Structure formats: C-alpha cells, structure tokens
Amino acid sequence: MKKLKIIYEDKNLLVIEKDPHVLTVSTPKERLRTLYHEASDYVKKQYPKNKIFIVHRLDKETSGLVVFAKSEDIKNKLQNNWEQTKRGYLAIVEGHPKNKKDTLKSYLIETKALDVFSTKDPKKGKLAITEYEVLQENKNFSLLKINIKTGRRNQIRVQLSDIKNPIIGDKKYHSKTNPLKRLGLHSNYLEFQLDNKTYQFTTKYPKDFTKIFPDML
C-alpha cells in the first residue's frame, strides 16, 4: 500500500484519505491489505500499546475521508452521534439528471446477501435521504455534489441508480461504463461534534476524476 494520506491527527482522532481499491476493514478474503491495518501499524510505531478503533467505513472502490478513533470511548461518542455527522461526496454518474438539484427520498431494504433496493413502503424499509446538485456535465457524464442526511448502506448508489443515473463503475447498481476502473464516488467532506468542539475535514477532488472533467475546481 502507498503511504497513508493523513489529513488530521490529535490525541483522539486519526483522519485519513483512503485510496480506491483499498478495504477499510478486513474480510474473510483479505486480512492485511486494509486501511485499518495500515492505520494500526502507524499508531503502534508511535507507541507499541497504541490502538485504533473503527468509527465508520467506505466501500472498497470509494475514495475519501475515513475517521478512526484512538480510544473506545471516543469511538462510542462518535458512533452514538454519527447520524448527526454532515457527510459530503463527489460522484460522477452516467447521463444527465432530469433535475439539476434535487432531494431523493426512498425506503431502503437490505437483503441477507447485502443487496440494497428501494421501496416506497415505509413499513418495509429504512428512510434514506440524499441531496445532490449537478456541478458539471459533458456529453456522457455528470459531476454531482452530494450530501447525505441518513447513513444507509449504499444509499447514494441505489438512489442515483433509481433515477437512471448510476455512478460510473457501479455494475452492481446498473452502471454500463467504467472509465476510471473504479467506482466514481469520493467522500470529500465530514463535519461532526466531539466534546463540544466542531471538527470539519475536506479533501480535494480525486486526480482520476480529472480524466473525465479536466477543469474541476
């Protein structure tokens, strides 16, 4: 793995920008090549008894901001209030959304196989709310700024697919193109409260996004 891209670090937090193609945490098939493993090694080099705790995760093919806690107490504080965390993304989708700015609402059902799909029936699924705005367009694709109001599994991917604008590289949710050889989704903004202090973190656009939108700002 490449050198960790550390965005911020203090006695409580370690914030890293994850590259695409990297797991946040281990799976039965991959134990070592994970962001968690690299972050754990990093803090143990500072002091062998140091530990790192998972607060949230990103999909393997999604890049962007990941927060780790340096104690179980901090992890619990963050997770207990994670729904209040403001989370922003950049996404490249196929086609051009009918509305240049919109709020998507549906109820998501998750199967035992971890597939997710939408329903209009509130009794069957959990409410998911995603706001988006079109930043740029070209012949085949659109660049979206996204804010999520809920933290459901795959909610951005599912709801953009629902409006017939799936994220590029997202074959699972009906994308037909994969120009970046990865999911065109990047977590670029996080804001949360911890011990009466507000933390805000941002990253620039991923460099590979400029292959499709060369004049990204």
Of residues 64, 70, 65, 91, the one with CA closest to residue 158: 91
Active-site position among 19, 59, 73, 195 = 59
Query: How far apart are alpha carbons 179 and 62 in whole angstroms?
Result: 15
Query: How far apart are alpha carbons 159 and 84 in whole angstroms?
Result: 20
Query: How far apart are alpha carbons 161 and 49 in whole angstroms?
Result: 45
Residue pair 143/210 in contact (Cβ under 8 Å)? The answer is no
Which H or E element spans position 86?
A: strand 86-94
Amino acid in the structure at residue 68: F
Residue 208 annotated in active site: no
Q: What is the 3-state secondary structure (H, E, C) of 95-125?
A: CCCCCCEEEEEEEEEECCCCCEEEECCCCCC
Q: What is the 3-state secondary structure (H, E, C) of 177-203?
A: CCCCCCCCEEEEEEEEEECCEEEEEEC
Active site (catalytic) residues: 59
